[in-house]
Structure 1
């Protein structure tokens, strides 16, 4: 089913233009909002990995399918996925059927649980990389927004060291944007100031 974008003149970030209603809803209500729930962190981490080489719109359109297929992104359940379960996921037309990405998601669930065991929560672990509060950027337009940062490089390197897959610098920077570790809304966007006060 096609989702029509909102018919308004609200100023938004350049990247959201031309998207469907799911895209606008994600931008207006989720992107850049600080996340402190481990299950939500895990969802974003897996979805960002699935997006690699594809558009975020593609992932958003399949998000509900992923929630059903990946036990609503409960890492403790995903970590127990068997080879038989993985094989069934690779036959699921509602998913991005990439063998490496699906295997990585299960691997990452196990690594995610190791971090929780060490730090009590993934949230406590990940927010250390930005000093415990969102980085507030003030970009004027879409072309100003970087694809990576010093912090995303450091987090990516640490995740790789801990055994995570599909966690390159760019994927991790997108994750940091999504979970509000960095506020990359353009200053003209109506969400810039709204997200800034959430810090």
Structure 2
């Protein structure tokens, strides 16, 4: 039986990580809810492993109103306290508060651009940036530009490295290895 060629870094990872690689990572995303979902998860990724964040995906989904940014934008102090008690997620107060702030900023971007999708894809004129397939950078001029602009718009926990991961997660950047069947 022939095995499917995947990116080298996914070798030996748990099934949920392989599924993320195969069906989510670097796949162009235009759905507003998914765009926010990956932004929230990437902000919790700061300083931690992506495997840890993905292992808690269902817990995050339940804790954060199924990633409904409209609801999250309305969260109050009692919601922060509730989330700080939730052992199923990463209980970092700054990141929890950032998720709320980012939902509010997400809505403001929608007001200005019509959709967050129109905003985030405008940085590449709607085109997917193909990676070189020979080592993945942790940040680029594009991620520097997007991060800087998002910070001006009030987003938190979205430095250039985080935004580069985000751009991969939503498919603006395709960094699959050259020989990966999912490129």
TM-score (norm 1): 0.89
Partner of 1:42: 36
After TM superposition, list the pairs within 5 Å mapping 1:49-198 onto structure 2: 49-140=43-134, 144-192=135-183
Q: For residues 132 and 46 of structure 2, what CA distance do their matches in structure 1 show? A: 26
Deviation per residue, 1:134-174 (Å, 9 max, x gap): 0112313xxx2111111111000000001110010000000
Quick one: distance in 2 between partners of 1:8 and 1:99? 46
Q: 2: CA distance between counterparts of 1:49 and 1:130? A: 22
Deviation at 1:8, TM superposition (A): 6.5
Give me the whole-angstrom Cα distance separating, in 1, the residues matched to 2:176 and 2:48: 21
Question: What is aligned with 1:23?
Answer: 17
TM-score, structure 2 as length reference: 0.97
State the shift of 1:183 in Å: 0.7
RMSD: 1.1
1:72-101 deviations in Å (ceiling 9; x for gaps): 111110000110011010000001000100
What does the per-residue CA deviation read over 1:55-78, in whole Å, with 9 as the maximum and x for residues that have no partner? Answer: 111111111111111111111100
Cα distance in 2 for residues equivalent to 1:40 and 1:16: 22
Where does structure 2 lack aligned partners over 5 or more consecutive residues?
none
Q: How many matched pairs?
A: 183
Query: Offset of 1:10 from its aligned partner?
Result: 1.7
Name structure 1 gaps, 5 residues minimum.
1-6, 193-199
CA distance in 2 between partners of 1:12 and 1:138 (Å): 15
